Chain A
Amino acid sequence: MSRPGFVLEVDDKTPPLLTMAGSDLRLERFGQGTRVVYPADAESSTAPVGLIDAALTAPTGSAPLAGRLAADTRLTIAVIDTDRPMPRAELEIRRTLVEQVLETAARAGVDDVEIVIATGLRQQWNAARVTEVLGDRVATSFLPDGLVTSHDVTAPDLVTIGEAGGLPIKLNRRVATSDLVVVVSNRADAGTRCPLSWGLTDVETVRRLGGPDASAAVEDEIEAVVRDAVDTYALVAVLGQPLLGRSLRFASKREWEWTLGDRLAFAGARQIVAAMPRQGAQYLHGSLRADYAVVDVLGGDFTQIHADSLAVWLAANAVEISGQSDVLVTPVWGAAIDEGDPVGSPLSAAHHALVTSAGAHVGKPVVRDGGVLIAFHPLRRRFSNRRQSAAADFFATVLPSTTDPAEIAATYEARAIDDEWYLDLYRKQFAEHPLRVFHEWYATARAAERFSDVIWVGGDRRSAALLGHRAATTYADALEIASNTVGQHPGITVLHGPGQAVGDVR
């Protein structure tokens, strides 16, 4: 059992606290009275097989998996990849989950088994990725026969399973025609999205789910249709906070508990990035892996497990905060926003700050309506040519003309999702679907409406202006800008650490 998270009130004995901005690490001195939210302690993972066995043999709201399998069952394992923990997990719990399901299926004599990766709008998996995540055993057993496929939201063979709001909903063919779909996923955040509707349907359905006029009612309606069409068995691993590798282990600790070794490791990490801004950052933060403790593994009825896993994750990770504040401060660490990029793009940084960090809370938001968000990130215009081609064009051509989601959806969205170049990159070059950047922007813009100002400390001024935000050179400057709207003595809350600090505001 890890040490739970807590809220620290900064006093005169508080040492400078670690903040992250892209690949830069620094120790920032916060004003007295500032509340700093520390998530639960990160712990190393332990063998999850016992938990998985329990989830398979004693499920919630369903018969045990073995009892639902027969020799003639058409079985599909849907591996959810719409949401994944960042930095990537060192121990892929999904591999162990899939292996245990396959063991059970083998004992039941099931012949017809396929694995579908529910990627939604994210990159499809190549063979290397399948091997890396699902392991050699699964790869050698299923890849040669083409039995591992990534879902393609634009595939022509999707099956219509019903209607919602008068429009058809199409689902992955293999999933729609299966007798049983075992949905394998891990939960590392407080997201409430239905992984089946977001990960395995067609582009038009996903477009409605994440468009500027998306509503919970539409999402519920689509989710109900998908759920009714497929017989499912859910298997969810609930994860704790990321425990970083030895070179960055200090970031997973509390500053006043740093040993001399931690302090020297911090000095070394800073020097590596400062001496070689590109290569050093790539070396330290580019392909980082973290260890996640498996808090619990839940199995059984899909709807119930989806809700239960959220409750378990919140119980293990949420931190009780008393009352809302005027200013929310959040670091944006490159390794936690863009895979393979140590700094991260400005669009991903904005999405992370506004949606992932500030938008994740239990009940009331951490900051009041009309408050100010201060985020740390350089906002340098960096996009991967292959993976983020659509995002680069969105930043270069769409944002300079408008930031309004409705206008963007009406003018640019349809053109982008029919663009042959983007679609070719999506289908053949393992890039993200072009619709993804639009959806991220809609969510970012919606989240920004709550704030009177969003200020980027150390951010590129043009990038900040394009996003409709402001930039400040230092944290003190940012507070001075914020004082125009929240006054001279605002209540300030800082979200701390490389993991996700979710506030439970009471």
Chain B
Amino acid sequence: MTITLDSKIPSGPVADAWSTYKSDVKLVAPGNKRKFKVIVVGTGLAGASAAATLAELGYQVDAFTFHDTPRRAHSIAAQGGINAAKNYQGDGDSVYRLFYDTIKGGDFRAREGNVHRLAEVSVNIIDQMVAQGVPFAREYGGLLDNRSFGGAQVSRTFYARGQTGQQLLLGAYQQLARQIGLGNVRLFNRTELVDVVTVEGRCAGIVTRDLMTGDVVSHAAHAVVMATGGYGNVFFLSTNAMACNVTAAWRAHRKGALFANPCYTQIHPTCIPQSDPTQSKLTLMSESLRNDGRVWVPKNPDENRPAAEIPEDERDYILERLYPSYGNLAPRDISSRAAKRSVDSGRGVGPLKNGVYLDFSDAINRLGRHVVAERYGNLFEMYERIAGENPYDMPMRIYPASHYTMGGLWVDYELQTTIPGLYAAGEANFSDHGANRLGASALMQGLADGYFVLPYTIGNYLAPMLNKPIPGTDHPAFKEAEQAARQRFQGYLGIKGTRSPDFFHREVGRIIWDYCGMERTQQGLEKALSELPALYEEFRKDLRVTGDGTSLNQTLEKAGRVDDFFQLGMLMCRDALEREESCGGHFRAEHQTDEGEALRDDDKFAHVAAWEWTGEPTQSVRHTEELTFEAVHLATRSYK
């Protein structure tokens, strides 16, 4: 199959692309909007904001979430903040700077046009969220406060204590709730997508499974939006919520949507290290802590004194030493690898020697305990609850963990996947962060896509479909998909093996973390690609799901998700193997500078890798979209 990946960026200077697009885009008249049905899957920042806005415009919207209520989506757990090029601090920020920082932070592997638009609409997001009542932090004069974040030399991050994601999600959820109350959105909660249906090459709708009853049901629509988050849980231990999964995106992929850059995963530098083998997830400590915390390890690997007793000259402040101009605010991938190298060299701290210190004693001495408490109080409490140590008295221990996935469904400028009528927004798409995402940019992208991009671009697709019939749920394609889904879930129940889905999830996660985690090698990836299919075979023979498929069964839900993680995991390893360079979060040990930094190969790899499903997880076909840089110059990323 020949696939041309056309990004559809309007011609002309990148700074004008979005206004050019908006001037040319086809519109649907207000009275005609109600003739179109749009399905939105997922109710996080991207999904809730898209569903609410599309409903405000007049479209009929059906929104789906596997949670009990839209407000549970994992966007809620983002702590630190949201970037916007407001330049309220007058410190030299601009749309161009945010655009440039994002491209550079992504190690020049993102598409210029999409990123510029993101930076442009970032300012509207803050206006919108304030109008909705999001209680962002303020100065005493009543104006909005900002903080700085990794990868930027300006203060452009807006925040609401350490709960920015929560407050933004509640804002978007409230807008969605208003539309539900008005009858403009139908909400399907505790309902999971199990397949995407295409008819004559267009997306015709979705098939879902009611988690309470096991009923498999079809839903037809003119267009479908996937706002289903990332796939970081493929690692088993990650900062993602327990239910986060790749199933919706993966099922779309299997129906023809190309999956882009799956090997671009982000390892967040500041998580609480694993303490126990039964642990089910890792907890992130906001990157904003690095504004005032200093990262260090003892110089001596055999050090066993408590942190406070180790003299200054026996400490190695690794980030300040290696990256003097950004110091403790070096970007995430760089900071993570610095921590990993310290632990690998035996200088890790804590009972399992699996972390580095994040020390606030200087900040407490300089600012006073109350200022530190004001900024980070809730994070300190959370740390103490989990680790059992008080960070006012002892430095935190942190270590990198899987946190975010930059890869995702391939989309063009309109956020449309390679299946016409199927869109992907937020973390589920691949478009804006290249090979590494900057802190406080995920919330920005989710809301940009949902509030300010999709409502324009979907109209452009729908306008020509006015008054034309679309396939209904009685179409054979829906019946086939329903049948396949029922068989799939019946299949998991029928194996009657000996191991739980969690057992297999833990095992897949271990392989992916070991060989496709923070550092990758050809040898390791090849090993993973031989171990994974064998383990997958075992999964298909030895899985045990107790209970039935006609009532609530969390083990069965999990089985379907782990199945898809297996398939995705193989694709991740293949993608990582084929990309013979290091960039951002993708670090191939064979490709590094003398100082151990990522070494890109722009001649061969300044492109997006987008994978086509062929029926066998190990046989996917790689397509490429060349990345062209007009507004920025390709440069070696340096944070020294």
Our verdict on whether A and B bind, yes or no, reads no
Please report B residues at the A interface, Cβ cutoff 8 Å.
none
Please report A residues at the B interface, Cβ cutoff 8 Å.
none
